[in-house]
Amino acid sequence: MSGNFNGLLKAQWKQGRFLCVGLDSDFEKIPESARKQGIRETIVSFNRAIIDATHDLVCTYKPNPAFYEAHGDEGWKALRETIEYIHSAAPDVPVILDAKRGDIGNTNVAYAESAFDHLHADAITVQPYPGREALQPFLDRKDKGVIVWCRTSNGGAGEFQDLAVDGVPLYQFIARRVAEDWNKNKNCALVVGATYPKELAAVRAIVGDLPILIPGIGAQNGDIEKTVQAGKDSKGQGMIIAASRSIIFASSSADFAEASRAKAVEFHDAIKKSL
């Protein structure tokens, strides 16, 4: 369906695209004008409009399955159809399933099948907690991106992530392990919230040019200039800078798609200016 995640991503970066649109398509927030007969049709039609309006501006799309699972099998169908649409409308734009999955190995085999073979995502976000050995079924999928949750964007992220282990905060310890020990197939990346530019700079200093997915600009108020300064790699690339609600729900009126494009242009330009 699509090529190697890292290859697709690097081609986007070369074009100067670093923005990732999070398709957190909460049904309740979808504008009246985008509503169709059923839940599935409404979500898919809304997502198609957003994708049509933004795909020349983004390096990746990132649907979060939570907002689809909340509607059961109809939501699940909407998720699959959304990813299918991205692959057909924008075949050069890889799709990150922002699923934060993580279980023991036997179970992760099934999660990898779900993400990559059923949904046809190009990458998945995963939990670090069970360790590398458990996550091997994801890591073994050489063409797929495995993006490990490292420093999360939420206000209470520090409860465990900032605990000192071996003289460094846990999230830095994890960043080093992923960069130095987990990345045998060169398919790893990390998640670090834009809401924490100091922590982002610390991770960048540890991991060299490893790709970093950086959510939290937009609704979570991460600062774009600080994010780019802290997050860029040695080539001035290496970043997937994600916004969700602020783009896809930029307007609740009939102009929602144009408004999403306007917001994406604003973020794209602000990133470019900060590089």
> Could you give the 3-state DSSP secondary structure of residue 204?
helix
144 annotated active-site = no
DSSP-assigned letter for residue 182 = I
Going by C-alpha positions, the residue among 151, 121, 116, 156 that lies closest to residue 137 is 116
From the list 10-18, 115-123, 201-209, 258-266, the region that binds a copy of itself by CB under 8 A is 115-123
- Per CB under 8 A, which of residues 136..195 are in contact with a copy of itself? 149, 152-161, 163-166, 170, 173-174, 177
> Given candidates 74, 255, 258, 266, which one binds a copy of itself under the rule CB under 8 A?
74
Rule CB under 8 A: choose which of 30, 58, 93, 119 binds a copy of itself. Answer: 119
CA 165 to chain CA centroid, nearest Å: 27
Taken in order 90, 94, 98, 99, the sign of the CA dihedral is: positive
Site for a copy of itself in 222-251 (CB under 8 A): 245
Q: Which of 69, 209, 225, 269 touches a copy of itself by CB under 8 A?
A: 69
Task: Note whether 216 and 259 are within 8 A (CB).
Answer: no
List 192's β-bridge partners, or say none.
151
Stretch that binds a copy of itself, among 87-95, 108-116, 203-211, 248-256 (CB under 8 A): 108-116
Cβ-based nearer residue to a copy of itself, 13 or 111:
111
| CA separation for the pair 139, 47 (Å, rounded) | 29
Q: Between helices 256-274 and 39-54, what is the axis angle to 10°?
A: 40
Which of 89, 104, 265, 275 is the binder for a copy of itself (CB under 8 A)? 104
**Do 240 and 18 meet the contact criterion of CB atoms below 8 Å apart?**
yes
Would you count residue 105 as binding a copy of itself (CB under 8 A)?
yes
Annotated active-site positions, please? 100
Residues that bind a copy of itself (CB under 8 A): 24, 26, 64, 66-67, 69-74, 76-77, 80, 100-108, 110-111, 113-114, 117-119, 127-134, 149, 152-161, 163-166, 170, 173-174, 177, 245
